[in-house]
Amino acid sequence: MDTQFLLKDKRTYTILTISIFLIEFLYGVAGTVWSVLLPYLMSYYNKSVTDIGAATSLFGIGSIISVLLLMYVLDKFTKPRVLCLIVVFFLAATLLQGLAPAFMILPIAYFMFGSSAMAMDTVNAAIIVDIYGNKSKTYVNLLHGMFGLGSISGPLYAQFIIGNGLQWNMAYIFASFAIGLILLLLAIVVITNKGAINRLRIASSAKKTGKELTIKQFFARKEVVFSIIAIFFLMGAQNLANGWIVKYMKENLMASAMISTLTITFFFVGVTLSRFTAPLLYKKIDSLKLLLILLSVGSIIIFAAYMSDNVYLIAIGSLFGGYGLGTATPVVIANLCAVFPGQSGRAASFAFIGMGISAVVFSFLGAAIISTFGMKTAIVLAPVLMLTSAPFINNLIKLNRKREKEEMDFAITSELESVNN
């Protein structure tokens, strides 16, 4: 943590970090049980692929609305307190998915889940950036690594529920109880440490350099545009790679429930391993450059696995595909936050816009492709989208290099002027 914080504040921020990591873990669990529960959900409500695609698009719509709202207000309020309110809605959304008496309730639950989950993800990243400053790339990776651990646990947890003869919706109900416990811990930390929480906001504001940028000025920056587009393709790849893979394995390749669940689990094992191991290399290679390498290798392997139609190769390929995609979101977010110090909330919000738009587009597009061309076409599109993001990430690297050169030239010029004076 930055040395500007008092020792007692550091203890508070450590507990706050743990709370954020735990809620991110539960977000991973609640967000990934869907892939295993989908066939049971469709059977329970007697709905088609098109119905499900339309319903899940509400997740993305909710995400976009919440992110647009946050970019206006987040840096103006104390982020940990905002997070408590968001987790309340997240808890309600998770519980509603388990208690929905009719299918028409699920789109409402998806809207609430999308808006609260995306807002929570945005605020979590912004708080971590505020606390850890220059170390934020590593800690944002660890944050999303917790999501990865939750994502590994989610499918296994869902299969455990089904395997023990419980109704599919109990997975959401039990998860909501765990979310409630972490919400209680988070609330206690925020309420009992008001001084430290307020000082965190003051420290964040002190990082601002120059005049605060408006929304229009943010959109005028190429870093913002390229980040949004990159995340749009990256999340599209992730949604297609994990959203339908269990159903595809079971129905198209006649795979067992075990190998189908292990495939989605392996994908998130790869995601998690990537987020915990890739930061170890950041001192030797730039995080964005490493991301390009991982995306290239991961996309080639997972594409070959999908084309093989071999369930075991697909399971193994999913591990490498997940590893390639693992650091994408946290690296792009942390990079954008670093470009705009002191406005981490707004910067993170812009990064998540691409995620929300991607969720809407690929909910409809994925369902449409499956209905028209078959499920394999939609699955194979995932590695293609991974590579499609590469040019935009490469442009971010060039912009970073240009900005660093300008900052170095300015520093040299200032030093020369100081010597001459």
Mean pLDDT of the residues in the chain: 84
Average confidence (pLDDT) over 258-278: 87
pLDDT on residue 418: 60
Non-local CB neighbours of 67 within 8 Å, separated by 6+ positions: 118, 119, 122, 349, 352, 353, 355, 356
pLDDT in tens, 59-80: 878 888 887 777 776 667 778 8
Exposure of 337 in the CB half-sphere (CA atoms within 13 A): 33
Domain presence at residue 157: yes
Contact 179/89 with Cβ under 8 angstroms?
no
pLDDT on residue 36: 83
Domain presence at residue 94: yes
Neighbours of 1 (CB within 10 A): 14
Which CATH number does the domain housing residue 318 bear?
1.20.1250.20
Domain presence at residue 420: no
Distance (Å, whole) CA 190 – CA 374: 49
Percent of the chain at pLDDT > 70 equals 89
Q: What is the DSSP letter of 213?
A: P
pLDDT on residue 84: 93
Domain presence at residue 21: yes
Average confidence (pLDDT) over 278-302: 90
Between residues 163 and 91, the one the model is more confident about = 91
- pTM for the full predicted model: 0.72
Domain presence at residue 263: yes
pLDDT confidence of 111, banded at 50, 70, 90?
Answer: very high
Domain presence at residue 418: no
Per-residue CA distances from 100 to 116, 269, 342 (Å): 18, 31, 41
State how many domains the chain has. Answer: 1
pLDDT at 103 over 80: yes
For residue 319, give the 3-state DSSP assignment: helix
Contact 186/91 with Cβ under 8 angstroms?
no
pLDDT on residue 3: 45
Domain presence at residue 407: yes
Please, what is the angle between helix 390-420 and helix 375-388, to 10°?
20
Distance (Å, whole) CA 209 – CA 343: 9
Domain presence at residue 417: no
The parent domain of residue 250 ranges over: 7-411
pLDDT confidence of 44, banded at 50, 70, 90?
Answer: confident
pLDDT at 202 over 60: no
pLDDT on residue 396: 93
pLDDT in tens, 18-28: 999 999 999 99
* Residues 345, 175, 27: CA angle, nearest 5 degrees: 25
